[in-house]
Structure 1
């Protein structure tokens, strides 16, 4: 088991805590960079989707996992970014400018949605964001001159200054670069005073306010940053699908995004990408299971929703820390074996509760 002896504050906030982090993350990056030459085209497209959902999940994790503000209408920001990108790319805007505009417009919409967060929280905030999601979906369906309405809108290939990402490999590298950049952005934000203010608001609004943290400003900022990341993911999502319609950004998409961060593990950057992998691979697993199930079950229309709900209930009951929490327990067991104690994480959980008086 590794012990890191810290002797300075800079060492405490360093992204790579020790040499093992540098080695394993370097190996992961090498594997991702060589992915287009080592995996079939189908799985390359799935890796692209994981990168896109990872970017969107980072935004939702920043809002829900680190600020404590839940959004059940987050697909609306995804839709705003997707339609902004499709509209601007069709008019010849280069990709860096169009994706920046998609992020900026989504952030502006996020500021508007963040206003209810100043007065409501919990289930009432969820209802407010859910209502906003329905409003955006209706606007996308009715504003036919811009969005194409329910007929949908075709999205051209990604292009910038004469270069076009018209192949699966080139677009994958664009999504990978954006995902890595967004991850580094969020990691650096979380170790800054702004990120620490977000975490303080999540733990206790009264304590954060007593320390001089402006709740309205930081809650609105959290919504804006979360929406901006969702808008960037929406822009990439539009190019990946090549065709978008309002029904792709409805309540079911919002539930999938929330499911992704909850199952991945709230309050964890690793959990975002674990949740994205779950969200992409689970439909494939269900499709493979259908061939081995009776027709009454395998051909049922709501099988995927039933499995998703069952998995979510199982995680809430037996593993609230998500996939990343389970990995931490497995890693700790292997590091401490044969001296691992069954109640180790249970004692840690009760200790944390005693530190937070409600």
Structure 2
């Protein structure tokens, strides 16, 4: 069991709490940088998708996990970012400028969607965001002069001021750098007064308002930042697929994104990455296992949806804190063994949500 002796107030907001954090996260970064020479091309492509979905997951985690505002139409922001990137890149705009425009336009759309959050919450907010998702999908399908309609649109390779990123390895490193920057930005935001205001709103809006937190301002800001990250992820998603169409940003995609953060672990930055890994690897695992199942089960068209539903129900019933919550329990068990008590985590129900995930 690790005990940290604090001698400075700055230790409370350090990103790395102790030497173990520096060691393991440093090793993870080295592994990610060496991935193109370790993994085959197919698995490198899957890892690239994990990084892209992690960026989107960080945005949705900021909104749902840290502010307590659920969005069932988050694929709309993904689509706005993807189409913005496609249109500007195809016009010859350099990749960094197009990426910034994709994030800014998605953030502006997020502000518009965030306005209903000022008056509604819970299931009513979910319905509002779901309706917005349908509207965006319809606009992308009907605005044929810009989006190409249902025929879709091709996306050129990223152009970094004259240097074209047209290889899988180059695009992987581009996604890795953007993911690291996005993660550091979210971590720094969460330890700032703005991030603490988000957590206060999640725990209790009445208490937050009594402490002087402007609910309307911070809720709208949370929607804008979440949409901006989704737009950046959508821009990378468009480049990875090289072809996008409106049906790729439908309600199923929104449910997958929400499923990602719930299963990964709400209220945790780690949960966004664990959920992205789950979302990408689960279809691969199903395709590998279904050949060994009876034909009636293995060839059933709704097998993937059935597995997703069963996994979600299992997590909601037995592990509401997701994969990261389960890892915390396993880690605590190993640290305290043989003195671990079975009811240790049950007593955490009396604490605020902000005290549960560290």
Range of TM-score over shorter length:
over 0.9
For 2:352 and 2:125, how far apart are their aligned partners in 1? 26
- Cα pair 2:203 2:352 within 8 Å, conserved: no
- Cα pair 2:68 2:202 within 8 Å, conserved: yes
1:77 lines up with 2:77 in the alignment: yes
Deviation at 1:9, TM superposition (A): 2.1
Counterpart residue number, 2:124: 124
Q: State the secondary structure of the residue aligned to 1:181.
A: helix
For 2:111 and 2:16, how far apart are their aligned partners in 1? 33
Deviation at 1:347, TM superposition (A): 1.4
Counterpart residue number, 2:318: 318
Counterpart residue number, 2:279: 279
Mind listing any 5+ residue stretches in structure 1 that lack a counterpart? none
Q: How many residues align?
A: 355
- Give RMSD over aligned pairs: 1.1
Q: Matches of residues 203-352 of structure 1 in structure 2 within 5 Å? A: 203-352=203-352
Deviation at 1:168, TM superposition (A): 0.4
For 1:7 and 1:88, how far apart are their aligned partners in 2? 51
Counterpart residue number, 2:99: 99
For 1:288 and 1:90, how far apart are their aligned partners in 2? 38
For 1:292 and 1:245, how far apart are their aligned partners in 2? 34
**Alignment TM-score, normalising by the size of structure 1:** 0.98
Deviation at 1:339, TM superposition (A): 1.0
- 1:175-216 per-position Cα deviation (integer Å, ceiling 9, x unaligned): 000000000000000000100000010011111111111100
1:36 lines up with 2:36 in the alignment: yes
Deviation at 1:263, TM superposition (A): 0.1
Counterpart residue number, 1:114: 114
Q: State the secondary structure of the residue aligned to 1:175.
A: helix
For 1:285 and 1:96, how far apart are their aligned partners in 2? 35
- 1:269-326 per-position Cα deviation (integer Å, ceiling 9, x unaligned): 0011000000000000110111011111111111100100000000000000100000
Runs of 4 or more, structure 1, over 3 Å off, are: 350-353
For 1:39 and 1:62, how far apart are their aligned partners in 2? 31
For 1:61 and 1:49, how far apart are their aligned partners in 2? 18
Q: Matches of residues 10-25 of structure 1 in structure 2 within 5 Å? A: 10-25=10-25
Counterpart residue number, 2:154: 154
Deviation at 1:351, TM superposition (A): 4.3
Q: State the secondary structure of the residue aligned to 1:342.
A: coil
